Amino acid sequence: MDNETVFYRELPKVELHAHLNGSVSSQTIEKLIGRKPHLNIEHSMTAIGKGQLRTLDECFEVFKVIHKLVDTEEDILMVATDVIKEFAADGVKYLELRSTPREEKDTGLTKRSYIETVINAIQQCKSEGVDIDVRFLVAIDRRNGTEVAMETVKLAEDFMLSSDGLVVGLDLSGDPTVGHGKDLLPALQRAKNSGLKLSLHLSEVPSQLEETDLLLNLPPDRIGHGTFLHPAVGGSQSLVDKVVKNNIPLELCLTSNVKGSTVARYSDHHFKYWYQLGHPSVICTDDKGVFCTDLSQEYHLAASTFGLSRADMWKLSQQAIDCIFAPEAVKQQLKQKWNDLHPQVFK
Ligand code: 5GP
């Protein structure tokens, strides 16, 4: 490993935007394929390699293939424990995983047992002493409409109260070209009122000014992507002003956006805009398995693309602590951890 690679691996990091089924590594996919050879799924169908580009539609097709491979409690337990351990091995000290609870009639999987299994995986890793604090966001897939969104919020509320602080919020994701945010507003409002934190995928594709404006009024606690918020790419100053005024952090995923073709080149990535503004921006992976990356690589990529120093990248990872959904005491513990690790990382 070269010097730079070692630095970014050792840099303590916070991962706030990681979809569980998009984060499955090639090793875990091999194990899943071994469990289900009859599906005839090849690894090339579940990952987008170096230099490959896809449309966003094609990316969503990849998730469907992975969902076929992950359809029992046993699969979810394996996937979640593997993903957590991989993030820990990459130097991630705090992780918020998100996932859309699914029901599978054939295997008896229910939405409730889906969430319970992810929670079990988190607890199992903790009991094994894996050095990472993991929390969970229950995801709403916007394709599934109003009723499912409300049902998901109710489930998330139950788990927020019964999971010993592990379920901290709600994610809104799924194909951004399907459905409209206004139909999901009552569910999101209810979630907010009950104390769930909200991370919403917003302006991931162009021409969603009206929807974004509506959802920004909630306001959400964090924004996923926000690729088309600013005026230069067809967004607007008033959207930017709302984000800035409410100090809503952005979760930014460079490789995902370039491979999914919503950003043409790394140097065009909106990280630059928000970073220059001094707005809280957190580098994340999105789907480390599908996009063949990890958080160390994303930090390294941001530094090399935008000419940032190691000290700048340390500051970015440290500032991400203020954007987590876990309570203040956890932020303090993490800040202490960063202080303790500083001499070792800059040795
Ligand atoms: P899961 O929720 O099954 O654990 O993870 C896969 C799901 O996350 C996908 O089906 C999709 O709903 C969501 N997802 C993953 N990556 C993206 C992304 O880049 N944009 C959006 N809007 N949704 C995503």
pLDDT band at 16 (very low <50, low <70, confident <90, very high): very high
CA of 286 to the centre of ligand 1 (A): 8
Helix (H) / strand (E) containing 295: helix 295-306
- Ligand 1 closest atom vs CA 139: 2
What mean pLDDT is predicted for residues 308-332? 98
Q: Domain 3-345, what architecture?
A: Alpha-Beta Barrel (3.20)
What pLDDT, in 10s, does the model give residues 197-230?
999 999 999 989 999 999 999 999 999 999 999 9
Task: Give the residue, out of 19, 83, 259, with the most ligand 1 atoms within 8 A of its beta carbon, to mutate for a pocket test.
Answer: 19
Nearest-CA residue for ligand 1 atom 19 is 286
Segments making up each domain of the chain, as ranges? 3-345
Atom of ligand 1 nearest to the CA of 176: 22
Q: Please, how many CA atoms are within 13 Å of residue 260, restricted to the half-sphere of its CB?
A: 28
pLDDT at 347 over 90: no
Say which amino acid occupies 83.
V
Query: How high is the mean pLDDT of the chain?
Result: 97
Spell out the residues 6+ positions from residue 98 whose beta carbon is closer than 8 angstroms to its own. 17, 18, 19, 20, 136, 137, 138, 139, 171, 173, 199
Which residues, 6+ apart, have CB-to-CB distance to 190 below 8 Å? 150, 153
Does residue 204 carry a catalytic annotation? yes
Q: Is 199 helix (H, G, I), strand (E, B) or coil?
A: strand
Residues 271-308 have pLDDT tens digits of 999 999 999 999 999 999 999 999 999 999 999 999 99
> CA nearest 46: which of 61, 57, 35?
61
Q: Which atom number of ligand 1 is nearest to the Cα of residue 100?
A: 2
Q: How far apart are CA 251 and CA 281, in angstroms?
A: 6
**Are 200 and 210 within 8 A, CB to CB?**
no
**Which residue reads 């009024």 in tokens?**
217
Residues within 6 Å of ligand 1 by CB? 19-22, 63, 99-100, 139, 141, 173-174, 176, 201, 204, 256, 286-287
Buried b (16+ CB within 10 A) or exposed e, 56-67: beebbebbebbe
CA angle, corner 259, sides to 255 and 264, nearest 5?
90
